[in-house]
Structure 1
Amino acid sequence: MLDYRKDIDNLPVYDVVERDWNIKVNANESGWNLPPLVEERVLSSLSRIAFNRYPNTEPEDLSEIIAKRFGLQKENVWLGNGSSEIIDKIFYAFGGEGHKIVYMQPSFSMYPICVKSADAEGIAVPLDDDYKFNAEKFIEAVKSQKASLAVVCNPNNPTGGLIPVEDIEKIAKEIDCAFLVDEAYVEFAGKKASAVSLMSKYPHLMVARTFSKAFGLAAIRVGYLLADKDIISTVGKVFKPYYLNVLSTVVASVVMQMYDEFDPRIEMVISERDRMYEEFLSLPGVKVYPSDTNFLLLRYDKAKELNERLLNYGIGVRSFGNAPMLDNCLRISIGTPEENNAVMKAIRNFAEGR
């Protein structure tokens, strides 16, 4: 009989199986590939890679570029295969038997999985009515549980809500454990939404970012951690050598250097999100939640039937089934204007009985 690690059978599975969708708005991806100028430079850079060599200076170069972007030092940056790997490693670094990790609920579905993988105890703090974040309740949970790590997703996935920077600072000021702010969607929330500016004041505060959402690089799997150099030094120990491939690193470097090329697309996503939000408000029986991300969360008594209708049309959205606090909820990513129009038409027809 095979002797697996204890409790591995109890780990939930993050389902990534896809089908050939006509419209795919279920994974919060970008609706566009790279801008032409960026793609041209990426292909040129990839042509100069020494494929026979292990990663050498490429990760260092990317870290330097990221640090410069945020006015930090290279020692304040750590790279990962998407921000999900960084989150997993942080949970591992601050986890272990007897350690407690506090996070919001509902939030990123990988948090409970990472908790179990880290042999820690997860403490989920429910959001208030209409998915409002309660900073006082969160702080009380962190303190009463003597947590080793506190985590907030900001803006939050899948609810879309933004925690004001003032509340992030309040948490950082009142807790003394490690504090991770997951900013996977922050580019869609405005330039003043990030907690990066607080890092110099609160050395236990960390910020995780990704290239997968606003920059349309979900395929290459690159994220990064911004943190105090002592945290970077320690967390870096749980990563293996050569864990990040050169192709992904080079692509991310080009994109970070051409950051401003993505501004028009980010603005278009924000505009389309706000347009879709207003249209959803007019649908009978549909509740839509305000969002500062590239998606919208809907609550609808007939969510299961609506999802089946969309499946028949080849439209993929995220259905949460009976997930805690997400019953009858669907999450819809913002795609291109044409995709958004088709999705809205299908949902409107269903909601209006056509």
Structure 2
Amino acid sequence: MFVPRSGLEVLKPYSVEEIQWPIRLDANENPNDMPQAIKTKVIEKLAALPFNRYPEISAQSLKETIAAGFGLTAANVLIGNGSSEILEALCYAFGGAGRSIVYPSPSFSMYGIYAKLADSQPVPVALNADYTLDADKLLAAANEAAASVVLLCNPNNPTGVVLPPAQIEYIVANTKSLVVVDEAYHEFYGKSSVNLLGKYPNLAIARTFSKAYGLAAARVGYLLAGEDIAQTIGKVLLPYNVNALTLATAEIVYNMRQEFAVSLAENSRERERMTAALGAIAGVTVYPSQTNFLLIKSDTMAAMVARLSARGIGIRDFSTAPGLTDCIRIGIGTPDENKAVLEAVTA
């Protein structure tokens, strides 16, 4: 008789409403399509791509391109089908039965799922009331659980709050666990822990092309780490895990990443404008963000969500999630989309 493996019956899958909102601010996507200069080169490249051939099994070309940007070698880089695939594989490679994986909460909801899928014990550590992290509390939890992995999302999703570089180094320096800093929103923040890689062998950095670089449709991410860490994780990734179309596109995007400076600057301006405008509404709290989204809280959140929905604006409702009572996350859209948000919430 065949039955699902034990534990799956209580595991909640990652799910969001599949609604084609006229204004989509629910997935932290770049609201602008790929810059035309990049799109032209991508189309030219794909037109010459042999679709009958498998992609590079090791994604060597993209690895070398990314490594050169950081002064590393290709052996320090791992390419995945989104950074999510790499994080899952990392938990599988360094987790396992009898091992623990520690992470702040609330944070990216998949961390706990990755831990459970790897037969590891998830150990969420509650953030402070203002969503900042108590580093000593996290380290104490990691020490008590003898954690094999510590996951840190910086800036954090869904709160938008950052961990200062000094705090991250303090954590890395004071634990024997593998510390993985998920920098999915790095480009909006501008500060990174990459400079610590040479100093601490227990550090790895994950990044994605899905947010600032607008490649959510292509699904590609990467990990920067010591050669031994990258090699170990690579053992549990499937062969040809990233398709040739995505690899070709990602390499062009990375080489032309300066083309996104305009959209990044617009995001920064609009984020500050939205923070001020939403924060001026009575009863609304806007948490500080260094990302392309805002977490806001209101005692009348249900009514606010209804007004946004009625105007065709999709947001992420976290109001019933642990640690996020009465909170929603709103992506930073185009100026016109943000104007529509403000009109809806002040109606």
Q: Is the 8 A contact 2:58 2:240 kept in 1?
A: no
In structure 2, the partner of 1:288 is 286
In structure 1, the partner of 2:172 is 172
The worse-fitting range, judged by mean Cα deviation, of 85-94 and 222-231 is 85-94
Q: What is the rounded CA distance, in whole Å, between the counterparts of 1:85 and 1:305 in structure 2?
A: 37
SS at match of 1:79: strand
Q: What is the rounded CA distance, in whole Å, between the counterparts of 1:94 and 1:309 in structure 2?
A: 45
In structure 1, the partner of 2:83 is 83
In structure 1, the partner of 2:201 is 203
Identity of aligned residues (%): 46
Quote the offset at 1:136 in angstroms: 1.4
In structure 1, the partner of 2:333 is 335
Q: What is the rounded CA distance, in whole Å, between the counterparts of 1:149 and 1:20 in structure 2?
A: 37
In structure 1, the partner of 2:153 is 153
Q: Is the 8 A contact 1:58 1:246 kept in 2?
A: no
Q: Deviation per CA, 1:83-125, whole angstroms, max 9, x where unpaired?
A: 1111111111111110000000000011111111111001111
Q: What is the rounded CA distance, in whole Å, between the counterparts of 1:292 and 1:122 in structure 2?
A: 27
Q: What is the rounded CA distance, in whole Å, between the counterparts of 2:18 and 2:272 in structure 1?
A: 27
Q: What is the rounded CA distance, in whole Å, between the counterparts of 1:169 and 1:90 in structure 2?
A: 20
Q: Is the 8 A contact 1:91 1:115 kept in 2?
A: yes
TM-aligned CA distance change 1:330 to 1:124, over 3 Å: same
Q: Is the 8 A contact 1:58 1:250 kept in 2?
A: no
Quote the offset at 1:321 in angstroms: 3.1
Q: What is the rounded CA distance, in whole Å, between the counterparts of 1:16 and 1:302 in structure 2?
A: 22
Residues 1:70 and 2:70 aligned together: yes
Poorly superposed stretches of 4+, deviation over 3 Å: none
Q: Is the 8 A contact 1:176 1:204 kept in 2?
A: yes
Amino acid at match of 1:262: F
SS at match of 1:243: coil
SS at match of 1:131: coil
In structure 2, the partner of 1:125 is 125
Amino acid at match of 2:127: L
In structure 2, the partner of 1:318 is 316
In angstroms, what is the RMSD of aligned CA positions?
1.1
Quote the offset at 1:57 in angstroms: 7.1
Q: Deviation per CA, 1:34-89, whole angstroms, max 9, x where unpaired?
A: 10100101101111111001112781111100001111100000000111111111
Amino acid at match of 1:176: K
Q: What is the rounded CA distance, in whole Å, between the counterparts of 1:65 and 1:96 in structure 2?
A: 33
In structure 2, the partner of 1:225 is 223
Q: What is the rounded CA distance, in whole Å, between the counterparts of 1:18 and 1:271 in structure 2?
A: 29
Quote the offset at 1:305 in angstroms: 2.2
Amino acid at match of 1:247: L
Quote the offset at 1:20 in angstroms: 2.0
Q: Is the 8 A contact 2:26 2:329 kept in 1?
A: yes
Aligned residues: 347
Q: What is the rounded CA distance, in whole Å, between the counterparts of 1:314 and 1:17 in structure 2?
A: 14
SS at match of 2:238: coil
Q: What is the rounded CA distance, in whole Å, between the counterparts of 2:81 and 2:171 in structure 1?
A: 28
Q: Is the 8 A contact 2:57 2:239 kept in 1?
A: no
Q: Is the 8 A contact 2:127 2:134 kept in 1?
A: yes
Q: Deviation per CA, 1:241-281, whole angstroms, max 9, x where unpaired?
A: 11110000100000000011111111110111011001111
SS at match of 1:238: coil
Residues 1:37 and 2:37 aligned together: yes
TM-aligned CA distance change 1:96 to 1:58, over 3 Å: closer
SS at match of 1:116: helix
Residues 1:194 and 2:192 aligned together: yes
Residues 1:276 and 2:258 aligned together: no
Q: Is the 8 A contact 1:288 1:297 kept in 2?
A: yes
TM-aligned CA distance change 1:327 to 1:93, over 3 Å: same
Q: Is the 8 A contact 2:102 2:125 kept in 1?
A: yes
In structure 2, the partner of 1:56 is 56
In structure 2, the partner of 1:237 is 235
Amino acid at match of 1:318: R
Quote the offset at 1:27 in angstroms: 0.4
In structure 2, the partner of 1:95 is 95
Q: Deviation per CA, 1:155-202, whole angstroms, max 9, x where unpaired?
A: 000000010111111111100111100000011012xx1000000000
In structure 2, the partner of 1:352 is none
Q: Is the 8 A contact 2:99 2:147 kept in 1?
A: yes
Amino acid at match of 1:274: E
Q: Is the 8 A contact 2:82 2:221 kept in 1?
A: yes
The worse-fitting range, judged by mean Cα deviation, of 51-60 and 208-217 is 51-60
TM-aligned CA distance change 1:58 to 1:114, over 3 Å: closer
In structure 1, the partner of 2:21 is 21
TM-score (ref. length: structure 1): 0.96
Amino acid at match of 1:59: A
SS at match of 2:103: strand
Q: What is the rounded CA distance, in whole Å, between the counterparts of 2:70 and 2:297 in structure 1?
A: 37
